[in-house]
Chain A
């Protein structure tokens, strides 16, 4: 295959993949008899046209940074974690239990505790498929998918039969104490002059960015990160170098699950203030697209998360103001995964042809 310059591989390939996905999405919108230009316009205005729209875009991006990092960490160990959705839901359960049953003096302490609770619950939910893969050889892709369904049922049961306050019809927990409410961008000095309307984006955004830096440190600056990446490149070589496969698989999955679970501080603690059914709204699955789009690098994940924050908020606006259902978001997600993850060689081949002609 023709070699292409590194800058083209890092910059051009994702952009062209994204353009191809956008063209296909436009085709789908045309096919159902709607106007793609109007849809794009609605998305841009709704998600980026106002500080209010940005408040939602950043809110979704916060969740996607967490789930994108989750997929990224697992990917570096050669593990495909499709269970981010379930891990995020169980992480939400962790947040709810920590905040409902233990009193905390201040929202900062509560945030720290909720983060730990979410991470612990997510980690446990991911550790089981990891352990089964390492010890019993169960295919991690299938097990994590099954755990998504099991998590869904578990949450339904917890919300309907266990955590629902007496006399409440809706399957949800009680509200967390108001003092645990996370400051939104509107409440933060300086930023409050930009975000004048109440927006859902909250301080979790900064936790997400910190997590991003921490994952970069872990993967590229620590012995454990080295072992994870070595294992992902070649299991047999890693084994020969004395790396314990069971340990790496389980630990990597736990870190991955913890990151997916941590998104719950954003939606459960920050936004809804209680645990609702299907709280993660597919963000766990979006993490796959975010990781692929971000080329499995923590900093790429931030950019890709912003992009998907835009698509998600824009998609919601499209669902609200046009005849196109909100499920357009899932189509976009599928197309981005297809073009950036599975058809990336096609894009590289096309670029290779282009660069060869220029070199000749």
Chain B
């Protein structure tokens, strides 16, 4: 494989890792606060449809982004009400919300546009365009590093850089602020947090809503940056892969970046059968390549995670002592 092909692969790795990373950080906030979130997938899907639809109608990608985040927040709120307020089963709530998103996105898109559950193709201001970072053109001729900077680091839509920035921000919020300390405590020992006079319910809702915002950005990215419009089931299990990446990353922000880049690379490989065939010199059928990210997810979870210890109070509704 030559250097140019490798750069192409890495370029699509970055683009494909972005929604995974945002969803993974969303899961990180939620699970660190003790709320499992299988519903990342559904939140991304509803956000993708809403942002695609609103961007198509308004012609502005920013209004689309805001609408996508809003829709994802509604889903996050439902998850919060079911699993925090009414202490329901968090896994079941997430699964239910995923189905709800899967059906409603098609119903609404069909009612609004009548194009078989898709939203109209976006162009111009209704989409996030590529951004060329400073000096990318100038440094392009520098051997090795120049093309790497030009092809892989520069030239992505804005939300890719937002996602990258979300990693240090998440780290700072969780490990350097009082809010973050409390958030992590509520996922480990909510009774202690409650004893200190801090509301467990409010903290968990805050975490779930932050997850909603991040999934909203991820979904909007899918429909307005990665693709030009929403398509039925377009998230294709990314919410679940993000959860696998979260376990692989052992619930740590920087590790989440590396884990999602790895999964993004798997997805990039699946899109390039020609490269895989050339490198392995095997004639691998296309369905096998399509299954590759999912197979590798299973392998990673089964083999290379080592001991992954989830937040101790994860999945447990908190019942205040009387």
- Which A residues lie at the B interface, using CB under 8 A? 28, 31-34, 80, 82, 132, 136-139, 141-143, 145-147, 149-150, 152-154, 156-157, 160-161, 285, 288, 292, 323-325, 327-335, 337-338, 341-346, 349
Contact A82 B95 (CB under 8 A): yes
Interface of A is mostly: helix
What are the 5 tightest A-B residue pairs by CB atom distance, in nearest-first order? A334-B99, A330-B103, A334-B100, A331-B103, A342-B93
Contact call B285/A161, Cβ cutoff below 8 A:
yes
CA gap between A139 and B87 in the complex, in Å: 22
* Pair B95/A337 contact, Cβ less than 8 Å: yes
Query: Across the interface, which residues of A come within 8 angstroms of B107, CB to CB?
Result: 28, 32, 324-325, 327-328, 331
Q: Is the CB of B287 within 8 A of A132?
A: no
Q: Which residue of B lies closest to A349 (CB)?
A: B86
CB contact between B86 and one of A138, A285, A333, A346 (< 8 Å): that residue: A346
Complex: A88 Cα to B308 Cα, angstroms:
31
On B, residues with C-beta under 8 Å from A are: 38, 78, 81-83, 86-93, 95-104, 106-108, 110-111, 117, 237, 240, 243-244, 247, 285, 287-288, 290-291, 294-295, 297-298, 301-303, 305, 308
- Min CB distance B88 to A, Å, is 4
* Contacting pair B287 A327 (CB below 8 A): no
Chain A to chain B contacts (Cβ below 8 Å), 22 pairs: A28-B107, A136-B302, A137-B305, A137-B308, A139-B244, A142-B243, A142-B301, A143-B302, A145-B237, A145-B240, A147-B294, A147-B298, A154-B291, A327-B103, A330-B100, A331-B103, A334-B96, A335-B96, A338-B100, A342-B92, A342-B96, A343-B88
By beta carbon, the residue of chain A nearest B98 is A334
Q: Check A141 against B38 for contact (C-beta < 8 Å).
A: yes
CB distance from A110 to the nearest CB of B (A): 29
Residues of A within 8 A of B297 (CB): 142, 146
Is the pair B288, A334 in contact by a Cβ cutoff of 8 Å? Answer: no
- Residues of B near A342 (CB, < 8 A) are 82-83, 86, 88-90, 92-93, 96
List 5 extra interface pairs beyond A325-B106, A342-B90, CB under 8 A.
A145-B237, A146-B297, A288-B95, A331-B107, A338-B82
Identity of the chain A residue whose Cβ is nearest the Cβ of B82 in the assembled complex: A342
Bound Cα distance from A73 to B92, whole angstroms = 16
User: By CB atoms of chain A within 10 A, which of B92, B101, B244, B288 has the most?
Assistant: B92
User: Is A150 within 8 A of B38, CB to CB?
Assistant: no
CA distance A141 to B290 in the complex (A): 21
Query: Is B96 a contact of A337 with CB atoms below 8 Å?
Result: yes
A330 neighbours in B (Cβ, 8 Å): 99-100, 102-103, 106
A99: min CB distance to chain B, Å: 23
Are A138 and B287 also in contact (CB < 8 A) when A32-B107, A150-B295 are?
Answer: no
Considering the complex, give the chain A residue whose CB is closest to the CB of B243.
A142
In the bound complex, residues from chain A placing their C-beta under 8 Å from that of B298 are 132, 138, 143, 146-147, 150
Instruction: Please pick, from A136, A292, A333, the residue contacting B92 in the complex, using a CB distance under 8 A.
Output: A292
| Contacts known (A325-B110, A342-B88, A342-B89); A153 close to B287, Cβ less than 8 A | yes
B106 neighbours in A (Cβ, 8 Å): 325, 327, 330
Distance between B169 CB and nearest chain A CB, rounded to angstroms: 26
In the complex with contacts A150-B294, A345-B87, A334-B93 CB distance below 8 A: no
Residue of A nearest to B41 (CB): A145
From residue A162, how far is it (CB to closest CB) to chain B in Å?
A: 10
Least CB distance from A294 to B in Å reads 14
| Chain B nearest Cβ from A284, distance in angstroms | 12
Query: A325 and B117: CB pair below 8 A?
Result: yes
CA of A339 to CA of B204 in the docked complex: distance in angstroms? 21
* Residues of chain B lying within 8 A (CB to CB) of residue A80: 91-92
**B304 to nearest A CB, angstroms?**
10
The complex places the Cα of A173 from the Cα of B102 at a distance, in Å, of 29
- The winner among B95, B102, B108, B247 for most chain A CB atoms within 10 A is B95
Which residue of the partner chain A has the closest CB to B104?
A: A331
Query: For B78, what are the chain A residues with a Cβ–Cβ distance below 8 Å?
Result: 338
What's the nearest-Cβ distance from chain B to residue A147, in Å?
Answer: 7
List of A residues within 8 angstroms of B81 by Cβ: 343
Q: How far is the CA of A28 from the CA of B86 in the complex (A)?
A: 23
Contact of B287 among A82, A154, A288, A325 (CB under 8 A): A154
Chain B hits for A334, CB < 8 A: 96-103
Q: How far is the CA of A329 from the CA of B102 in the complex (A)?
A: 10
Check B308–A285 contact: CB distance below 8 A: no
Q: A80 to B90: give the CA distance in the assembly, Å.
A: 12
Contacts of B95 in A (CB 8 A): 82, 288, 337, 341
State how many angstroms separate the Cβ of B61 from the closest Cβ of chain A.
Answer: 25
Minimal beta-carbon separation of B141 from chain A (angstroms): 42
Query: Which residues of the other chain, B, contact A331 by a CB distance below 8 angstroms?
Result: 99-100, 103-104, 107
A113 vs chain B, min Cβ distance (A): 28
Asked if B96 and A136 make an inter-chain contact with CB atoms under 8 angstroms apart, the answer reads no
**Complexed CA–CA distance, A280 and B281 (Å):** 35
CA distance A149 to B301 in the complex (A): 16
Contact B99 A285 (CB under 8 A): yes
Q: Pick from B82, B88, B101, B303: contact of A136, CB below 8 A.
A: B303
Q: Are A139 and B82 in contact, with the CB atoms below 8 A? A: no
Complex partner residue of A157 from B88, B96, B104, B285, CB under 8 angstroms = B285
Residues of A within 8 A of B303 (CB): 136
What residues of chain B lie closer than 8 Å to A149, measured between beta carbons?
A: 237, 291, 294
- Give chain A nearest CB distance to B101 CB in angstroms: 8
**B288 CB contacts on chain A under 8 angstroms:** 153, 157
Residues of B within 8 A of A28 (CB): 104, 107
A338, B96: Cβ atoms under 8 Å? yes
* Assembled-state Cα–Cα distance A132/B290 (Å): 22
- Tell me if B99 and A146 are in contact (CB < 8 A): no
Q: How far is the CA of A334 from the CA of B45 in the complex (A)?
A: 14
B-side contacts of A161, CB under 8 Å: 285
Residues of B within 8 A of A333 (CB): 99, 103
B296 (CB) vs chain A CBs: closest residue: A146
